[in-house]
Structure 1
């Protein structure tokens, strides 16, 4: 699983000592190609990182190429197979995409490097777990983001709510106080399945599980149904559409009208709210999605990016050096503060303590999870039987029957042949 044939016999040692690069002093600088996704890091961050890395690694030319999310799967497949006409030594991918690349093959294993170089014991589970199969690690967490509760401070104060709720019971009670007249206690669209996932996980359920190599949708499980029941109770304390998701209409626009006390979304939506209604500037707050008890916040879906190295990378040892720099406390701090992200480790949450939105995300990220670790989960999302299931329950249909229908659809997709 190394980039030169002479390395394959000592793969474990190569993780520590590396093999010689493709180029030497006589061949000019070692060129390392890094693919980053558009919007993941600012131009200023990329420029500063590149200059610093090249200064600390004389003889290395770091070539950062920005990629579009649209169509990236096929491009990465091409690099991993060696048939795409392009090459890269290190690639940023979404945390939920890694299972697909592991299945198709062509990834370099990074288990030993994670243990000995990068402090994998502190990685966020929501980033690290989707990148591992059978104890082997193929992706290195880079940054995370997740949903929080964004609330209108004035409306909370008017309702006599002095502190944000810390558990579900307090949350329901507070939202009931806030839901009055033409004011919505919370705007929660009926098909926000990412939020539902957290409630299901809190109950000990899941969207799907794998047993003996076979996947099964599990929305009809009692624990998953309990998560949906809480979603229904919360969603009723506002006027969110039962047959649409949070982007139809965009929930930030609804909140900006000033008559909504809460929404659930990434903290970055606060900027959109303030842009739409400048009168709300300084009046927005954040708190973690409450859990069943006050001792820990609710589970959240963790999104974000990880770094992978193709088996065919020409500069694997240099790619290791780039990862080492990108996940260092210095550059994790720079990225998190520049982009308002959550760092890749629980032990680095303190670096965003001065950013209320990012700090709130970090609390939830410590208990974050990702979607089922299947190469076909993206196909489930494309069809997404979870959304009509949610609408069915919210409009009074039998929850167990609707859930079983959704579970059967998930099962069919996850076990289908490509």
Structure 2
């Protein structure tokens, strides 16, 4: 599921409540040796897809705290953040809350979440790097990775076969050669690779593949690094691919990519693993049902010779700083994220939060491409002002300018670095 960082106005409202409670431990927060209740907020994904796992965590906690009442509230992603922002300004906070990994940063920065002891959580030394980064700020941990998701390439086997391509590509030269053949067969009105220009997750994957980064921390401050030779090399490869294979609207983002793919005017997309399946849903498949049996997912190869570094998605579980049952909350989180729990989440179609349990999935026919992609991952800079970078659409606007030929890569990265540096260190 696609997640966005929360709106700045929501964070501002949240901070009003936090300002009155200091660190949280002194006023409104703390711990109880024998908590009478625990309130857990999860998304509807858990309610619909792994309720038995939630019950198992409840039962284990109840065995340790006889008589404890565990209250569950379930929210859609769009409804949860506004609700959370409003209650964080009060003393009626949940004890455990599920957070999209891209939602964590502003809450960590503003002191809304309690610091957690990683030694209390199974697999903490083996968490996927990108997920660990999403729950870490200034060297402290404020969340526990719950499950993960990675990006994969998906293409139409029928369109490939019509161009004389039998197998999915394993290297970037193979990929571009195959896309060349598909593009030549289908003509200029068809996108061999439908890749929205404003999809900065993909563009930055090319940057990280080439050894670059959006920004790096030095001496306690963050500095944008898109003007580095490595970043320019990655963005140049990305630009070249768009120029050759993307013949759709160059002002688009990736929000409706699966819907556009369902129209049947493109052979390949690169995105979240669920997008291909959603495009094949009868509601969106406008090809007369051709997508259902003709889609194949594979690990996206990168120009570097390795798999393209994937933005890592997923969820974290956190404890609000005002919780009065922090120990019990942490224990419940461990029960929902330990190795046994991860096995249940894997069976439900998720990727695990750790490298050990991810490894054997790489050969699984269903999730192999996602598991392999998740191994080589990146995450956004955990900088105080990253929310401002996203809110201002700095990356998206510059990438669109590159794709439309309004700016060279070199001119665009100079502008991006300047705009990022102006806000990235400002909380």
- Shorter chain as normaliser: what TM range? 0.7 to 0.9
Shift of 1:74: 5.9
Alpha-carbon distance in 1 for matches of 2:365, 2:390? 31
Deviation digits for residues 322-357 of structure 1 (CA, Å, limit 9, x no counterpart): 11211123322323332x321111222267679755
What count of residue pairs does the alignment treat as equivalent? 390
Q: Which residue of 2 aligns with 1:256?
A: 262
1:89 is aligned to 2:89: no
Q: Which residue of 2 aligns with 1:403?
A: 413
SS of 2:33's equivalent? coil
Q: Which residue of 2 aligns with 1:26?
A: none
1:359 is aligned to 2:359: no
Shift of 1:32: 1.1
Which piece of structure 1 moves more, 209-218 or 226-235? 209-218
Q: Which residue of 1 aligns with 2:126?
A: 122
User: Is the Cα contact below 8 Å between 1:3 and 1:312 reproduced in 2?
Assistant: yes
SS of 2:280's equivalent? helix
Q: Which residue of 1 aligns with 2:71?
A: 63
Deviation digits for residues 279-315 of structure 1 (CA, Å, limit 9, x no counterpart): 3212101011213355x41101112111111233222
Q: 1:350 to 1:62 in 2, by over 3 A?
A: farther
User: Is the Cα contact below 8 Å between 1:189 and 1:241 reproduced in 2?
Assistant: yes
Matches within 5 A, 1:194-343: 194-236=201-243, 237-247=245-255, 250-275=256-281, 276-277=284-285, 278-294=289-305, 296-338=306-348, 340-343=349-352
Which ranges of structure 2 fall in alignment gaps of 5 or more residues?
1-22
SS of 2:266's equivalent? coil
Q: Which residue of 2 aligns with 1:45?
A: 50
Shift of 1:192: 1.3
Deviation digits for residues 197-240 of structure 1 (CA, Å, limit 9, x no counterpart): 11101111111223233333222222111111111111122313
User: Is the Cα contact below 8 Å between 2:207 and 2:230 reproduced in 1?
Assistant: yes
Alpha-carbon distance in 1 for matches of 2:113, 2:220? 21
Deviation digits for residues 43-85 of structure 1 (CA, Å, limit 9, x no counterpart): 3523x234333433232322111234347556545666xx324
SS of 2:302's equivalent? coil
Where do 4+ consecutive residues of structure 1 move more than 6 Å? Answer: 1-5
Deviation digits for residues 367-413 of structure 1 (CA, Å, limit 9, x no counterpart): 11111112432222121111221122223322211221122112222
Q: 1:257 to 1:75 in 2, by over 3 A?
A: closer
1:174 is aligned to 2:178: yes
Q: 1:44 to 1:384 in 2, by over 3 A?
A: closer
Alpha-carbon distance in 2 for matches of 1:391, 1:2? 43
Q: 1:102 to 1:254 in 2, by over 3 A?
A: closer
Q: What is the CA RMSD across the aligned residues, in angstroms? A: 2.8
Alignment counterpart, residue 389 of structure 1, candidates 387, 393, 398: 398
Q: Which residue of 2 aligns with 1:415?
A: 425
User: Is the Cα contact below 8 Å between 1:107 and 1:310 reproduced in 2?
Assistant: yes
Q: TM-score, normalised by structure 2?
A: 0.82
Alignment counterpart, residue 355 of structure 2, candidates 317, 333, 346: 346
Q: 1:177 to 1:102 in 2, by over 3 A?
A: same
User: Is the Cα contact below 8 Å between 2:53 and 2:344 reproduced in 1?
Assistant: no
User: Is the Cα contact below 8 Å between 2:195 and 2:246 reproduced in 1?
Assistant: yes
Alpha-carbon distance in 2 for matches of 1:309, 1:54? 16
Which ranges of structure 1 fall in alignment gaps of 5 or more residues?
9-17, 23-29
Q: 1:400 to 1:323 in 2, by over 3 A?
A: same
User: Is the Cα contact below 8 Å between 2:302 and 2:308 reproduced in 1?
Assistant: yes
